[in-house]
């Protein structure tokens, strides 16, 4: 048994391997989260009468949060939205198939609605109205009467619903936005469309590379087409090399997937709503260059979730446990949100892998602060980079393994007929058939 196996609870020879039952699920009381088996297929009627009203209530909160003296009304809307979002997330199956790759949609719905509820909580509880200081739908010199304010709020709410970093809003000033590497005027709708196509093609090849690995049987909750990334039959060097490679490919896939989605939404915003490139600054800042965990999570990784995690996690925890507790609270809420998405994919939650990964990112950030306070030295430079990558890769292997066992790696994120990587494979196979030896 190797060192990584000894400390990884999901390894076939790890320290939890001899526990009876499924350890992650035993951490949650029975009945708190409904059984996956109780879900029924989502129909068009469900989408119109239950899913769409959640979006409508969220839009209503986005309007009201811009208007003064609406906090009581906002707080009264929040429970209704939460109840409906919980019902939609836990009662309905949005995939409708147990075939390989068809469990991504339900996971996405659970993740999306949980993120929406975190933002809705922010909208409902804030004591100061949100003000769009730049790019407002109304000129600055319009009358300040209520009908005009309501009209502006109705129009600006469309931006607020998907503007999670607060670009142009008074509440977004504390969220880091990477500088643009290109002149802003050159970033138009066509640029975003071209960037989307290129990024989506690259993402498909990254996904193909990840899906090319063999997965091994596991005694832990595993989709019938999934498996663990830890293969006990391989010699240590190959075993850990495979784990490191798959752990590396996963964030590359997430990076390109987020980028492609960002470009697609930006393209729609520019062509349909008349927005400009300045409203869509870069999403990332070379996360592979991070020299500390604080640098990675606070600057270089995307900051789309930052404000909801601060409002719903950091601030409440900081009231009881101080600044360090606030850091852990933000990452804990992040873990719960991602874990609920895993529940949507089937086989329940996995706090000991998914939530734990994000919580340990908070622990790492706290350790960096303590190091600086004790030594006066900031975590940075080559040694800071090594520390950051080691911490990310070690704990990252746990969450990648959880996703692999739940079948997310084999998910059909694009139709097979529209995948450039699969088309390239067919071309390569045809070339070999005509000019060389068949692929083994």
Nearest-angstrom CA–CA distance, 351 and 300: 26
**How many Å is the Cα radius of gyration of the chain?**
23
The predicted model gives 44-65 an average pLDDT of 97
Output the pLDDT for position 31: 61
Output the pLDDT for position 72: 97
Output the pLDDT for position 24: 42
Is pLDDT of 185 > 50? no
Query: In this structure, are residues 190 and 318 in contact, taking their beta carbons and an 8 Å threshold?
Result: no
Is pLDDT of 128 > 90? yes
Range from 173-182, 326-335, 363-372 carrying the lowest mean pLDDT: 173-182
Q: Phi and psi of 18, rounded to 5°?
A: -95, 0
Query: In this structure, are residues 201 and 420 in contact, taking their beta carbons and an 8 Å threshold?
Result: yes
Output the pLDDT for position 142: 76
Instruction: Choose among 170, 62, 58, 172: nearest CA to 116.
Output: 58
Sign of CA dihedral 48, 51, 55, 58: positive
DSSP for 141-201 reads TS--SHHHHHHHHHHHHHHHHH-TT-TTBGGGTTS--PPPSS-GGG--HHHHHHHHHHHHH
Instruction: Decide: pTM greater than 0.85.
Output: yes
Q: Which residue has the higher pLDDT, 6 or 318?
A: 318
Residue 169: strand pairing partners: 132
253 by Cβ neighbours in 10 Å (0-12 / 13-18 / 19+) ranks as buried
DSSP for 60-98 reads HHHHHTTSTT-HHHHHHHHHHHHHHHHHHHHHEESS---
pLDDT of 195-215, one tens digit each?
999 999 999 999 999 999 999
Residue 264, token pair as written in the block: 């697609």
Instruction: Choose among 406, 384, 319: nearest CA to 95.
Output: 406
């Amino acid at each position: 048994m190797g060192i990584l196996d000894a400390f990884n609870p999901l390894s076939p020879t790890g320290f939890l391997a001899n526990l009876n039952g499924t350890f992650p699920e035993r951490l949650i009381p029975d009945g708190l989260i409904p059984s996956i088996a109780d879900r029924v297929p989502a129909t068009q009627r469900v989408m119109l009468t239950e899913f769409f009203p959640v979006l409508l209530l969220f839009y209503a909160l986005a309007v009201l949060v811009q208007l003064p003296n609406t906090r009581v009304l906002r707080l009264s809307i929040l429970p209704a939205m939460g109840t409906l979002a919980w019902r939609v997330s836990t009662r309905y199956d949005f995939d409708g198939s147990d075939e390989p790759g068809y469990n991504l949609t339900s996971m996405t719905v659970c993740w999306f609605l949980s993120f929406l509820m975190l933002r809705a909580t922010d909208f409902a509880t804030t004591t100061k109205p949100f003000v769009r200081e730049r790019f407002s739908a109304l000129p600055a010199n319009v009358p300040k009467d209520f009908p005009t304010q309501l009209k502006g709020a109705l129009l600006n709410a469309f931006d607020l619903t998907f503007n999670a970093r607060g670009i142009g809003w008074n509440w977004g000033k504390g969220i880091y936005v990477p500088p643009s590497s290109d002149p802003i005027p050159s970033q138009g709708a066509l640029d975003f469309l071209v960037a989307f196509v290129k990024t989506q093609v690259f993402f498909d090849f990254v996904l193909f590379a990840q899906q090319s690995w063999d997965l091994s049987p596991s005694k832990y909750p595993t989709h019938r087409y999934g498996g663990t990334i830890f293969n006990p039959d391989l010699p240590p060097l190959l075993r850990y090399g495979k784990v490191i490679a798959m752990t590396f490919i996963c964030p590359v896939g997430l990076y390109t997937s987020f980028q492609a989605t960002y470009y697609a939404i930006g393209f729609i915003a520019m062509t349909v709503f008349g927005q400009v490139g300045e409203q869509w600054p870069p999403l990332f800042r070379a996360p592979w260059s991070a020299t500390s965990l604080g640098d990675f999570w606070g600057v270089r990784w995307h900051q789309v979730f930052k404000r909801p995690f601060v409002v719903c996690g950091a601030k409440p925890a900081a009231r009881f446990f101080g600044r360090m507790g606030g850091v852990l609270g933000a990452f804990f809420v992040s873990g719960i949100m991602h874990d609920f998405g895993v529940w949507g994919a089937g086989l329940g939650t996995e706090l000991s892998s998914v939530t734990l990964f994000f919580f340990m990112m908070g622990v790492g950030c706290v350790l960096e602060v303590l190091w600086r306070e004790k030594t006066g030295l900031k975590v940075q430079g080559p040694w800071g980079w090594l520390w950051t990558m080691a911490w990310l890769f070690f704990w990252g292997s746990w969450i990648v393994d959880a996703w692999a066992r739940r079948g997310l790696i084999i998910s059909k994120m694009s139709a097979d007929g529209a995948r450039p990587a699969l088309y390239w494979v067919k071309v390569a196979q045809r070339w070999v058939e005509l000019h060389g030896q068949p692929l083994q």
